[in-house]
Structure 1
């Protein structure tokens, strides 16, 4: 994985909050990939092959859909030491 850019996956369904989180992370020198959907986040994690350094997720995503807890659990199933901030 040398010379491969690592990203932080941001899962947030409120666009204003998503923008704020992305701006803060970018100002801190991090690259981000953002999605408003737990389902899409799981898809991204499944094909990531170690691309993400960390996960920042809202717990309460749209009702009836995959929530942030489920996304974090899935990330930990893929890599037990995966850092997530919910």
Structure 2
């Protein structure tokens, strides 16, 4: 897969939206944003060092998607429709 003219490393991460409920209470979308951020912190530099883009694809078990996952799916949809 290409992202910005580079090959991309895509990391799929599923999380329960109730994860971390005890620490901060329930906030819609918080669990996927946190999971997305953790993946970026863990893998983005290694991918960049190897001249690859990093795309975290985080989703929750209720069906919500993190912002980067939405951007990736939007790009894929455009490619499919233009083919």
Q: TM-score, normalised to structure 1's length?
A: 0.33
| Structure with bigger gyration radius | 2
Q: Which has the higher helix share?
A: 2
Q: Structure 2-normalised TM-score?
A: 0.34
